Structure 1
């Protein structure tokens, strides 16, 4: 068993034996009207789950989702979000969804993001911020036209949420069909399978290549078979020397 597998096994053992019972107790207190004690009980397992999943390859979405639920929990606790029955119900639903997300990633490799993203939208509304704030929180993608190639330089260290994938899609669509796209991941620490699927979905319409992948990015890339659809180069210079348009006869 690898060190990563051992970490995942240990995490889910803690989830089943410790965190989930704590969460059930906290939710019971919330729904019973003991808001202060319920939030105190919930805050401990949520903080731990957020931190541990942040170090587990493939679980980045779970960490990001838990982080947003934890922020909402703190806002309810501080009173900056109305402590209404609707918001308490939303908080309970969001906390339960954390466990559904981590189990889906464990069992399927990726989460079904539709319901979690719906919950995040409701949290945005309850917190007084619109959904556009989600995209603005990211550093995004810089684009550069170089020797007939659209270079996409990803600036976020971790790419695993739907708004980030939307930014990638918008950047890709700046290119003309059939043209070449080079993805620069030199600043990226993790790039999850859903993000790779977003890139690969355009591999028939564009000639896509990538460079600058860190070990974690490579692990996800190769384990999901993306090398069949996206060309890999060690660095930018290598690509423009050997694979860019006009180098075929070099």
Structure 2
């Protein structure tokens, strides 16, 4: 593999560009600057995942990077608590991406440590969810000018108990009608919650307002803004052209 010009060009990019970016992100994590660290890490990891997915023989690196990226997004969204242990695990997983790349380049992939890290990630993700199993506070629903406004009362929307009331409220709306999610009370909105709402965007015209920076980042990071339009506030939505 190492004689393939495309592979050599990719590794040149890794060494000159992506690895320095990752090191900067990991230094931020080590300094407890979690938000900035994750923001810096997200870009090179996403690129590595995408490029290796199209490189013959490097698909395993793409799959592994995808799992690390997914864990990173869960920490970023608050679905997994950013404890010292979890941040250390995230750093270990990110570093291992480069180890996997080199092993594949040399044709000697060792999956034992890789599997160990992925198992620890599964455990950390499960623990983070169990700690937040309380039922959601629900929603308030009203109608304004033919639009169903669903006001979400939970400050954190991640588990099914949090977003199920939103889904239930949407299902009471006539297909094709306009729906506005008022998220002004919401601090974080998990990727799973966004996915559940976005999947209904085919049947309903869904928009959201009052979206916090963290919730917006998750929405855009997972591409759900293609289905759910975002407005600054309720009045902006109703005065749209």
TM-score, normalised on structure 1? Answer: 0.49
| Aligned mate of 1:185, from 183, 186, 196 | 183
| Aligned mate of 1:227, from 225, 228, 236 | 225
| Aligned mate of 2:167, from 153, 166, 169 | 169
Relative to structure 1, the CA distance from residue 62 to residue 116 in structure 2 (aligned partners, 3 Å threshold; closer, same or farther) is: closer
Q: Provide the residue aligned with 1:94 in structure 2.
A: none
Gaps of 5+ in 2: 1-20, 33-71, 82-116
Distance of 1:212 and 1:200 partners within structure 2: 17
1:139 matched to 2:137? The reply is: yes
Alignment of 1:1-250 (within 5 A): 6=27, 56-58=75-77, 60-63=78-81, 103-104=121-122, 134-135=134-135, 138-242=136-240
Relative to structure 1, the CA distance from residue 162 to residue 211 in structure 2 (aligned partners, 3 Å threshold; closer, same or farther) is: same
CA deviation digits over 1:148-181, x for unaligned, max 9? 1110111111111111121111111111111110
Distance of 1:152 and 1:164 partners within structure 2: 14
Relative to structure 1, the CA distance from residue 195 to residue 145 in structure 2 (aligned partners, 3 Å threshold; closer, same or farther) is: same
- Computed over aligned residues only, the root mean square deviation of the Cα atoms, in angstroms, reads 3.6
Q: Aligned pairs, how many?
A: 145
Relative to structure 1, the CA distance from residue 220 to residue 116 in structure 2 (aligned partners, 3 Å threshold; closer, same or farther) is: closer
Gaps of 5+ in 1: 12-52, 64-98, 124-132, 244-250
Distance of 1:102 and 1:145 partners within structure 2: 46
Runs of at least 4 residues of structure 1 off by over 4 A? 1-11, 99-102
Deviation at 1:62, TM superposition (A): 3.2
Contact 1:4 1:56 in 2 (8 A): no
Deviation at 1:146, TM superposition (A): 1.0
Distance of 1:101 and 1:154 partners within structure 2: 34
SS at match of 1:239: helix
Contact 1:62 1:101 in 2 (8 A): no
Deviation at 1:102, TM superposition (A): 7.0
Contact 1:8 1:56 in 2 (8 A): no
Contact 1:143 1:150 in 2 (8 A): yes
Deviation at 1:223, TM superposition (A): 0.5
Deviation at 1:134, TM superposition (A): 4.0
TM-score, normalised on structure 2? Answer: 0.51
CA deviation digits over 1:5-64, x for unaligned, max 9? 6565678xxxxxxxxxxxxxxxxxxxxxxxxxxxxxxxxxxxxxxxxx9x9422x3334x
Relative to structure 1, the CA distance from residue 214 to residue 101 in structure 2 (aligned partners, 3 Å threshold; closer, same or farther) is: farther
Relative to structure 1, the CA distance from residue 201 to residue 9 in structure 2 (aligned partners, 3 Å threshold; closer, same or farther) is: farther
